[in-house]
């Protein structure tokens, strides 16, 4: 008698609500909810606007090997931010060509010397694990762009690897 009673309740329940206690009305809304969840998740994963962007404009100034320089010797960015570097070569002489290469600390000189060995065909950038990011070459009057993800907090370096430029064109990247 008890068993039959329970069976009746289950039967009545499934007629009225569906077996998990939802009304037919709620049942109708459900497919929409199921559809919404994965979409929201996808949006979060693809939403890069949540990542801070640190944009830096830096210039290569000077007219010869004795006067060339970056217009800043220290750059500061936020750890893990997307860093966007705009390097403008303000030189006018056709042989004054610059780039900007970010490296681990105490390596800029080694990287620049290796870059000079690589030569123009490799944009003067060596294949090295101490390089964080390297821009293309900027000809006089040109602006080149470089984007990379900032590393963890610490002190890093940047350098122009065009032959002989490293002596005057280098600086520190501070990541906070
Ligand atoms: Cu240079």
Ramachandran assignment for 125, one of left (phi > 0), alpha (psi -120 to 50 degrees), beta (any other) = beta
Domain parsing of the chain, residue ranges: 2-48, 51-175
Q: Which pairs count as long-range contacts for 119-127, CB under 8 Å and 24+ apart, including other chains?
A: 123/99, 124/99, 124/161, 124/162, 124/163, 125/99, 125/101, 125/161, 126/161
Higher pLDDT, 27 or 162: 162
**Highest CATH level, class, for 51-175:** mainly beta
124-143: pLDDT as tens digits: 999 999 999 999 999 999 99
Count CA atoms closer than 13 A to 83's CA, side-chain side.
26
**94 alpha carbon – ligand 1 mean position (Å):** 12
Whether the pTM exceeds 0.75: the reply is no
Asked whether the predicted pLDDT for residue 119 surpasses 80, the reply is yes
**27 alpha carbon – ligand 1 mean position (Å):** 67
**135 alpha carbon – ligand 1 mean position (Å):** 12
**91 alpha carbon – ligand 1 mean position (Å):** 10
């Amino acid at each position: 008698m008890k068993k039959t009673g329970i069976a009746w309740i289950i039967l009545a329940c499934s007629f009225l609500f569906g077996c998990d206690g939802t009304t037919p009305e709620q049942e109708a809304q459900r497919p929409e909810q199921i559809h919404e969840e994965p979409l929201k998740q996808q949006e979060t994963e693809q939403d890069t606007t949540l990542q801070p962007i640190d944009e830096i404009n830096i210039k290569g100034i000077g007219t010869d090997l004795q006067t060339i320089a970056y217009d800043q010797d220290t750059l500061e960015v936020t750890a893990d931010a997307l860093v966007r570097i705009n390097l403008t070569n303000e030189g006018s002489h056709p042989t004054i060509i610059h780039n900007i290469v970010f490296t681990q600390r105490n390596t800029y000189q080694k990287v620049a010397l290796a870059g000079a060995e690589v030569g123009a065909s490799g944009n003067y950038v060596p294949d090295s694990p101490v390089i964080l990011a390297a821009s293309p070459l900027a000809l006089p009057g040109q602006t080149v762009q470089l984007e990379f993800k900032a590393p963890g907090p610490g002190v890093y370096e940047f350098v122009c690897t065009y032959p002989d430029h490293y002596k005057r064109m280098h600086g520190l990247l501070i990541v906070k």
